[in-house]
Structure 1
Amino acid sequence: MRDRPTETPDDGPLSGPDDAHPTHRVALADWLIALPYPGAIISFKDNELSMVATNAAFGNYFAGPDAPERPHAAEWRQRIIQCIRSDRDSEAFELRRDGILGPEYFYCSVGRLPKLAGQPDLFLFTALDRTSDRAIEKNLRRELLSDGLTALPNRTGFGEEIEDRLSNMPWPDNAQFGIIAIDLSRFSRVNESLGPMAGDELLITVAKRLKSGLRQGDVLARIGGNDFAIFAKLNNGLSDALHIVQRIRDALSYPIRLSDLQIRVDCAIGCALSTSLSEDPEDVVRKAQAAVKIAKRSGKVEIYRNGVLKEAQRRFSVESRLRDALAQGELTLAFQPLIHLQTGEITGFEALARWEDEELGHVSPVEFIAVAEESGLITSLGRWAAYEAAQALSRWDAKFGQPVPVGVNVNLSPIQMARDDVASMFEESLRYSGISGNRLTAELTESAIIADPEKARKLLFALKDLHMPIAMDDFGTGYSNLASLHSLPIDILKIDRSFVTSMLEDRDKEIMVRTILSLAESLGLHVTAEGIETQELALALQNLGCWQGQGYYFARPMPEGEAFDYWRARWNFETV
């Protein structure tokens, strides 16, 4: 490149309409002086760039005496030549150069000037300093991709960090990567009992401990409220992942001090390993999260296995459809008869939720109730069941012309007992339907009482104030003791079907059933046996003095109308 004089051979006005140019004559160099940013008039002839005119800002940034030695000089000249050769009237590009205070960024444009006869092509070059704009963009991007509390990458930033590692790290042929998901257990209790600031302090401390256990190249991120994840390069597959898991456990093994308290942090850990380096990292993250959900239930480290992600997607579909079904009234109740074993009389029915979805088909209660408990929909589902059961009794009374001499049992989830005002729910159910409390029985499990004994006690006495009978479901599978049974207002024990169905073949199961019957008699409680599927079982339980039974031997759960007809048909009851 060579310099040329700063004056053009002819500084007269360019050709064009009379009002398209100023009436006075101004040199090109004088036009450039008016620009507040670097500018230059450049000539291009015989594949060479020549300076026709520049302003002071251009000299300061681009073309000082030492311009040829500047690292960026060759680059911007080359970029200008590329723009000129494009034959477009204007082109733009961004230029980065290393300044005294760090990288500097310029938005550069090259525009073709009107051609003068007999003169080489002239171009206007301008460079707008965008360093401060890029710094703002960088800060905003950092905020977008990082967690403000722990300064770790967030879920979005985690994905970008993984992509960067996969693209720029050296990877042996047999290497793979893994995602380790970590869910802090009981974190919500810290927030509830000590406040959100203590919860934040706990998260910061956990983040520091986890980070201290990382290897070079590993990435730690906070991908949720109390969820962390680690991206790890695995040269030895699962053994490397388990080694990292052990380091996580070691880092969290000793208590964390918050205020005057020492808190031991428990966590659920799930791992997912990539099948190849080309596998979508987001899929591996989802697999690890699916594994950690299983770990929360099992209490062990879980490794993702094929099919778990499909199960998680199925649960998501069930949750979404269940939410709509509850809102649109698409669930129904089925009623299974409760039979007095000594007389054959129908004493009541157990209300059981049923769901036929137009997309999912028949969905098992075992599946959708578990999803409802996990998602929090169990409160809405439980309320619907209580209201609908009471309304069913009201409709039967209207058909019969007087109160039908049967009741309905409604199941209570431990999660609903913990989160909902159950006593108020039953009071509303009874009031809206106009039936008496002694016709609606609340069934709850032993685990619901054990989880929060004091709260369960208050609830049971509140239900007794409504004159409702109370049944303990699945008795024998939990940890109830004589003291709790004696002190709680329980009316009925329901022997779990796991003891009943095989009691004739299993001596230990028969002894268990006899023991429960003897215990109930001493405490003045009634007993219902679940899972009676043969006449032999019904007769055996009748001979043992069991009060009530239910099972497929008598009838399967049936719709509301069929249940009423079943009761009417057996009004003149027969013996078992």
Structure 2
Amino acid sequence: MSGTSEGPAPAADLIRPAVTESSGDASPGVSLPADGRLGSAFSASPLAMAVVDRDGLVVSANDTFGALLGKGGAALAGLVAADLVDLRSDARTWHAYREVLRGRQAKLSRTRRVKHPDGHSLWVQVTAAPLPAAEHGVLLSLTDISDRRELQARLRHLEMHDPVTRLPNRTLFFERLSAALEAESYEQGGTGRIGLCYLDLDGFKAVNDTLGHRVGDRLLAAVAERLTRCADEAGLARATAPLVARLGGDEFALLVEDSTGTDQLADLAESVLKALQAPFDLSGQRLSLSASIGVVERQAAGTTATCLMQAADTTLYWAKADGKSRWTLFDPERNAHRMTRQALASTLRPAIERGEFTLEYQPLVGMENGRLRGVEALVRWNHPQFGMLTPNRFIGLAEEDGSIVQLGRWVLVTACRQARRWQLDHPDEPPIFVSVNVAVRQVWDSDLVADVAETLAETGLAPHLLQLELTESAVMGSAGRPLQALQALSDMGVHIAIDDFGTGYSNLAYLSRLPVSVLKLDGSFVRGFQYEGEGVPPNPADEVIVEAMIQLAHRLGLSVTAECVETSAQASRLRRIGCDTGQGWLYSRPVAPDRISELLGTKACNQAS
């Protein structure tokens, strides 16, 4: 076989520069392409190519390569290739490119933006690959990807912006927020702080429901315009304006990077509220709306996007709960209380099963002789984390989640069992009654009558030694099932008491038709009595009101208990106007069952214990 071949040259040879001994311009081992087929292919190729020596200088470039950079191919010879296509812009790319020049890396591919001499920029895909060892150089090729990048940019804009308001959407907002929270953002003279106004339109759902989603969308777009205007005005004196984004539905956010403090965020929130106050005219529809805004401002260091948004969401909830059409600043103490409340709510039911609750008893004392007549059972939660908690910390939670039924049943059984134990331990003393608080939800969500009957039968306590207390607002509106339950309990012999009387409806005419036997006067009336010898001016109106209520109650066949009796002066006045029993710190604070046993058969309740 002949040593020559007439067949086509290998593909690699088409891009390989010819090696000659006549070129004094090229680096050793690399030369310009020779004339002929190889040179013609290199020059005419639609692929932009250049040969670069091991020092990084352009040996030769075809016209396609030169055209992309706005120069002739021949004019590029001897120039630094890395500068032509921006390969020095970051350390990793520069290192990788030099490794390719030295033959230590097989290939490099990067996307770069280069500037054409006529002023426009274009995006190119830069590829660098070593030539065969004999040439000791690199083939650099460029591909114009500007159209593809433009399409990608358009698609990204559509992906990152809300189609209704054309504002940045939730995805772009969190992208910007995460970038703003990075520590590097604050290493060049920034404040190191970040602020957020998180707002929700009050009553926007009604607009969609009554006028339709088309009007609702136009309203959202109009709101976006006003928010953008507020942000632009806020950014006049700063390098950048706050970012306005629609997070979804009728929720918007204004992100302030490098904030200067809460005053700046408060001013922004005020401007937003003011901007939204003016009615919106939408093709004959004149609409008014307001917004609630949660404001958070803090150090960026140590803050995550999740934590910031949780704080903003919580604060927005406060603004709505406080009456809407306002802004509210994040309060760490209020948030700690909320977190504690959530922690209690999540562990309430298991705590009942674990036996973390206990009862204390506060004496109910006869005003005439000072003897113990009964006790009120007061539940306490011995929480493993928060210590001993009083009812105001958890009863509301129990009513909200329904666990009040389970807890109330435990209190009823425990109190009745203890009352029966006192009766058996002190057979020579008149038995004392026990008063148990009942929530309205217990009447609705359980068979309270059956629970009481079963408890009395189980413990052996007589029905007249059990008193159930309901608040005035609950009892006065009773009808249907609640009223039937109260009547059945009264027919059973159980006493029904109205707690905190005088603070609710005070419908005295309706009172005569209820199966009630006891009124417990709210402590605010007793506290208003004149304190002898303490320099407090008299308030005769309180005494007149209390006396009138006692007389009316007696005429209706009811007995009266005064709460919050703290001084002997109060007790003497209550005794003089006919009050039947008293309860308060003058006699005793809530105590353990053993202390009640000590008080039985004594008049020790005449003074604080």
TM-score range (shorter-chain normalised) is 0.5 to 0.7
Structure of higher CA gyration radius: 2
Aligned counterparts of 1:196 and 1:344: Cα–Cα separation in 2 = 66
Which residue in 2 is equivalent to 1:407? 434
Which residue in 1 is equivalent to 2:410? 388
CA distance change for structure 1 residues 355 and 397 in 2, over 3 Å: closer, same or farther?
Answer: closer
Instruction: Indicate yes or no: 2:352 matched with 1:352.
Output: no
Partner amino acid for 1:116?
A
1:130-209 map, 5 Å: 138=156, 142=160, 153-154=169-170, 157=173, 160=176, 179-182=196-199, 207-208=220-221
Aligned counterparts of 1:390 and 1:489: Cα–Cα separation in 2 = 20
Superimposed CA distance per residue, residues 336-373 of structure 1 (whole angstroms, 9 cap, x where no aligned partner):
2333434656554333332344433444544x23xx74
CA distance change for structure 1 residues 108 and 490 in 2, over 3 Å: closer, same or farther?
Answer: farther
Which residue in 2 is equivalent to 1:475? 501
Which residue in 2 is equivalent to 1:312? 335
Contact 1:290/1:304 (8 A) holds in 2 = no
Aligned counterparts of 2:250 and 2:463: Cα–Cα separation in 1 = 43
Aligned counterparts of 1:350 and 1:515: Cα–Cα separation in 2 = 25
Please state how far the C-alpha of 1:476 moved relative to its aligned partner.
3.0
1:136-535 map, 5 Å: 138=156, 142=160, 153-154=169-170, 157=173, 160=176, 179-182=196-199, 207-208=220-221, 210-214=223-227, 215=230, 216=232, 217-220=241-244, 229-231=253-255, 238=263, 241=266, 244-245=269-270, 248=273, 251=276, 268-269=292-293, 271=295, 295=319, 299=323, 301=326, 304=329, 308-321=331-344, 323-324=346-347, 326-328=349-351, 329=354, 330-342=356-368, 344=370, 346-363=372-389, 365-366=391-392, 368-369=393-394, 373=396, 378-380=400-402, 382-396=404-418, 399=421, 406-412=433-439, 417=441, 422-424=444-446, 426=448, 429-430=451-452, 433=455, 443-446=469-472, 457-458=479-480, 460-467=482-489, 470-482=496-508, 485=511, 490-505=516-531, 506-507=538-539, 508-535=541-568
Aligned counterparts of 1:64 and 1:408: Cα–Cα separation in 2 = 96
Q: Count residues in correspondence.
A: 509
Indicate which of 526, 537, 541 corresponds to 2:574.
Answer: 541
Aligned counterparts of 1:206 and 1:244: Cα–Cα separation in 2 = 20
Name the Cα RMSD after superposition: 5.9
Please state how far the C-alpha of 1:461 moved relative to its aligned partner.
1.2
Partner amino acid for 1:513?
V
Please state how far the C-alpha of 1:67 moved relative to its aligned partner.
1.5
Aligned counterparts of 2:435 and 2:543: Cα–Cα separation in 1 = 28
Please state how far the C-alpha of 1:410 moved relative to its aligned partner.
1.6
CA distance change for structure 1 residues 297 and 504 in 2, over 3 Å: closer, same or farther?
Answer: farther
CA distance change for structure 1 residues 277 and 318 in 2, over 3 Å: closer, same or farther?
Answer: closer
Partner amino acid for 1:121?
G
Instruction: Indicate yes or no: 2:75 matched with 1:75.
Output: no
CA distance change for structure 1 residues 95 and 396 in 2, over 3 Å: closer, same or farther?
Answer: same
Aligned counterparts of 2:165 and 2:473: Cα–Cα separation in 1 = 37
Superimposed CA distance per residue, residues 360-399 of structure 1 (whole angstroms, 9 cap, x where no aligned partner):
3444544x23xx74x7774355234302212203533674
Aligned counterparts of 1:322 and 1:472: Cα–Cα separation in 2 = 28
**Which range moved further: 283-292 or 317-326?**
283-292
Partner amino acid for 1:359?
Q
Aligned counterparts of 1:495 and 1:246: Cα–Cα separation in 2 = 49
CA distance change for structure 1 residues 488 and 51 in 2, over 3 Å: closer, same or farther?
Answer: farther
Aligned counterparts of 1:407 and 1:271: Cα–Cα separation in 2 = 49
Aligned counterparts of 2:144 and 2:528: Cα–Cα separation in 1 = 85
CA distance change for structure 1 residues 75 and 342 in 2, over 3 Å: closer, same or farther?
Answer: farther
Structure 2 gaps of 5+ residues are 1-11, 20-36, 72-81, 233-240, 426-430, 532-537
CA distance change for structure 1 residues 345 and 161 in 2, over 3 Å: closer, same or farther?
Answer: same
**Which range moved further: 549-558 or 324-333?**
324-333
CA distance change for structure 1 residues 245 and 500 in 2, over 3 Å: closer, same or farther?
Answer: same
Aligned counterparts of 1:209 and 1:448: Cα–Cα separation in 2 = 46
Please state how far the C-alpha of 1:494 moved relative to its aligned partner.
2.5
Superimposed CA distance per residue, residues 402-438 of structure 1 (whole angstroms, 9 cap, x where no aligned partner):
79762332253xxx74xx8734163574366455887
Contact 2:358/2:380 (8 A) holds in 1 = yes
User: What SS does the aligned partner of 1:66 have?
Assistant: helix
Aligned counterparts of 1:223 and 1:93: Cα–Cα separation in 2 = 35
Which residue in 2 is equivalent to 1:8? 16
Contact 2:437/2:469 (8 A) holds in 1 = yes
Aligned counterparts of 2:17 and 2:254: Cα–Cα separation in 1 = 67
CA distance change for structure 1 residues 96 and 65 in 2, over 3 Å: closer, same or farther?
Answer: closer
Indicate which of 40, 48, 62 corresponds to 2:57.
Answer: 48
User: What SS does the aligned partner of 2:347 have?
Assistant: helix
Please state how far the C-alpha of 1:572 moved relative to its aligned partner.
7.5
Which residue in 1 is equivalent to 2:600? 570
**Which range moved further: 217-226 or 496-505?**
217-226
User: What SS does the aligned partner of 2:385 have?
Assistant: coil
User: What SS does the aligned partner of 1:313 have?
Assistant: helix
Aligned counterparts of 1:51 and 1:314: Cα–Cα separation in 2 = 74
CA distance change for structure 1 residues 394 and 504 in 2, over 3 Å: closer, same or farther?
Answer: same
Please state how far the C-alpha of 1:500 moved relative to its aligned partner.
1.1
User: What SS does the aligned partner of 2:566 have?
Assistant: coil
Which residue in 1 is equivalent to 2:110? 93
Partner amino acid for 1:406?
F
Aligned counterparts of 1:73 and 1:482: Cα–Cα separation in 2 = 94
Which residue in 2 is equivalent to 1:553? 586
Structure 1 gaps of 5+ residues are 12-26, 54-58
Partner amino acid for 1:6?
L
Which residue in 2 is equivalent to 1:66? 67
With structure 1 as the length reference, what TM-score do the two structures score? 0.64
Which residue in 2 is equivalent to 1:120? 136
Partner amino acid for 2:173?
G
